[in-house]
Structure 1
Amino acid sequence: MTTSDDRTVAELIRAAFPDLTRAERQLADAILEDYPISGLGSITALSESSGVSTPTVLRMARKLGFDGFTHFQASLRGELKMMISDPVARREHWTDELPHAHILNRFAEAVSDNLRKTLQRMDVETFDAATALLADPDRAVFVVGGRVTHSLADYFFSLLQVIRDGAHLLPPNANIWPHSVLGMKEGDVLLIFDIRRYERELLSLARMARARGVTIVLMTDQWGSPITTQAAHGFHARIEVPSAWDSTVVLTYLVEALLAGIQALHWDTARRRMNELEGLLDETAMFKKFT
């Protein structure tokens, strides 16, 4: 359960953050640090762990649009249930609510709604800052994904290495990731893909990289991976569709938008590399030529 505008509690907090008092911001940071578990204890426990008063907790809950702390916690519990749901539970959740339209129409409507809501809550400054980091030729860029999202990481890397030097795709075997961290330097960038049923190995990787001064850019869902606390910049894509599996359509859109932005920042270099690559591909006769 969320508020009537369908935003998660985390999204509400991030949107309201500029208007919060100092104490409320302290509370917000504490909630997001271990989201959503941090907000599921008693109001006394939350106030004590965040170092604020119980009236501050109540005041911020109302600022976020909730009737009170009970309503606030009910939303968090509903989110937690969705975050940890397995594919069968996700499919059954949608089955109870699906209209009788064809699956093509239902799926298209859900994807379109996901894209619209993601863009409505997108911070353009965050997008531009992440694009500049990933385009910076003085920074190496490392890319990694999880069990499902590794294909997105692979796709991003495959095109990024055409645009610029210094791009690296981490291997799918998490046991090798510490070896990859050895090659990371302060100022480098690590782009991580992590959506619900968040992976512990990815969080460990983010912590190791950040300890070396690496800047984390995160692609996650509307609830937010635990890696959010390690990331300098985060993108929160909507992923729910009438299926047992989460949709990566919006994440793919963000990947391609980032690549377009990076390409535009250094088009002369990108064009030169693309022309060189075309020459190399011609030598391999990989593609059919219609001449």
Structure 2
Amino acid sequence: MKTEKKIEQLIAGKFRELSPGQRRVAEYLTDSPIEFCMSTVAQIAKKVNLSETTVIRLSYSLGFDSFSQMQRKLQKEFLETSGKENVSHEETAQEDPVDTMLEKIVLRETKIIQEMLKKMDKRAFHQAIDLLMTADFVKIGGFLASHSSASWFYLKMSMMRDNVMLLSREHHPFSSFIMENGRETVVFLVSMPSYATETLQIAQIAKEQGATLIVLTDRRLSPVGRLADICLTTDIEVYSKGMISIASVMTYLNLITAGIEVKYSEEVSQRLKNQMDFFSKLNLVIE
């Protein structure tokens, strides 16, 4: 027996065929299905700042005979989902351990991020932003648990300025670490437990060669933190000896890039616009 597709599945299957206006209506439907269920065509059109005709045409594009038919199906799906969730107390007396774990992790991560903001050294934060944008060269590194966050930060920084390098195992870090003819170089390292030997070696070379060393770590007295000219810190959640969460690390790095976009908005916004225009011209991005 063929299972009837839900509206979200219909939208996903047809999304590339929809007009830009219909896509906006579809996104509003998936983001706020309850509001969509309870609204008239006119109210939805006003919400997404489009014509009522565009709202109605979405229903045709998804295979419905009318807007009302599409809305009734959405209402039916919502009621069916609500009915499944409102099962008896006896059936849910035993808590799902996975659900409990998810809730604990989210609450703990939220608390860590809130504490990070309270304890943040704002002076060091602003110094780091300025150095990352004014130095002649920026070299970014992180290994083991810190590798993915360092790679993401490299991508963001390379979009906002020139002369940014990722220090990686693939391109041996030490061969590309000689100071650039005396020009100002900033080395930004992410160092979280378990602390990688390579990160410490890079930090030592950076100090020997006179580079400015900025470190994001979990404590000021970590092996690399002790060498830093500017040490940025955030707590992390450790689930087991081999598993740590980098949610707070990613948040801190995102704060740095957001701060740069605000403080250096003129040069960054124009550079980002030029890049997106270039990507679109070469069809490197879908949307």
Common topology (TM > 0.5) = yes
Alignment-derived partner of residue 148 in structure 1: 145
Which deviates more from structure 2 when the two are superposed, residues 201-210 or residues 185-194?
185-194
* Structure 1 length-normalised TM: 0.60
Range that drifts further, 222-231 or 267-276:
222-231
CA contact (8 A) 2:207 2:213 kept: yes
* Counterpart position of 2:123: 125
Q: Does structure 1 retain, via aligned residues, the 8 Å contact 2:179–2:185?
A: no
Given that residues 196 and 225 in structure 1 are in contact (C-alpha distance below 8 angstroms), is that contact kept between their aligned partners in structure 2?
Answer: no
Report how far residue 195 of structure 1 moved: 0.9
Does the 8 Å CA contact 1:222/1:239 hold for their aligned counterparts? no
Aligned equivalents of 1:225, 1:177: Cα separation in 2 = 21
Residue 245 of structure 1 is matched in structure 2 by: 243
Contact (CA 8 Å) 1:195, 1:224: kept in 2 or not?
A: no
CA RMSD of aligned residues (A): 2.1
> Which residue identity lines up with residue 218 of structure 2 in the other structure?
D
- Partner secondary structure for residue 143 of structure 1: strand
CA distance in 1, matches of 2:187, 2:126: 16
Residue 187 of structure 2: aligned partner = 190
Q: Which has the larger radius of gyration?
A: 2
Selected match of 1:162 from 151, 159, 163: 159
Letter in 1 for 2:275: L
Match of 1:112 in 2: 110
When the two structures are aligned, how many residues end up with a matched partner?
A: 189
Distance 1:282 1:171 in 2: 29
- Structure 1: which 5+ runs fail to align? 1-98
Deviation at 1:285, TM superposition (A): 1.0
Q: 1:208 to 1:117 in 2, by over 3 A?
A: same
Letter of the aligned partner of 1:139 in structure 2? D
The equivalent of 1:181 in structure 2 is 177
| Counterpart Cα distance in 1 of 2:147 and 2:194 | 14
Q: Distance in 1 between matches of 2:123 and 2:141?
A: 23
Partner of 2:203: 206
Q: Determine the structure 2 residue equivalent to 1:103.
A: 101
Q: Supply the distance in 2 between the matched residues of 1:268 and 1:236 (Cα, whole angstroms).
A: 29
Could you say what secondary structure the match of 1:169 adopts? strand
Within the candidate set 205, 217, 224, 1:227 is matched to: 224
**Is the alpha carbon distance of 1:101 and 1:282 closer, same or farther for their aligned partners in structure 2, counting shifts above 3 Å?**
closer
Deviations for 1:90-122, whole angstroms, at most 9, x for unmatched residues? xxxxxxxxx997111110111012112222221
Separation of aligned partners in 2, 1:278 and 1:120 = 35
Which digits, 9 at most, give the CA deviation of each residue in 1:112-168, with x for residues without a partner?
A: 1211222222111111111111111x4311000111211111111111111111211
In the aligned structure 2, how far is the partner of 1:163 from the partner of 1:100? 40
Q: How far apart are the structure 2 equivalents of 1:124 and 1:223?
A: 15
2:261 aligned partner: 263
Q: Work out the CA distance in 2 between the residues paired with 1:197 and 1:188.
A: 27
Q: What is the CA–CA distance in structure 2 between the aligned matches of 1:118 and 1:287, rounded to whole Å?
A: 34
Which of 230, 233, 236 does residue 236 from structure 1 map onto?
A: 233
Any idea what the Cα deviations from partners look like across 1:220-264, whole Å, max 9, x if unmatched? 113642111210111221112445511111110110110011122
**Distance across 2 between alignment mates of 1:132 and 1:100:** 43
Structure 2: which 5+ residue stretches go unaligned? 1-96
* Identity fraction in percent: 22
Contact 1:150–1:172 (Cα < 8 Å) also in 2: no
Counterpart of 1:32?
Answer: none
Letter in 1 for 2:185: D
Q: TM-score, normalised by structure 2?
A: 0.61
SS in 1 for 2:193: coil
The residue type paired with residue 249 of structure 2 is L
Q: Amino acid of the residue matched to residue 151 of structure 1?
A: S
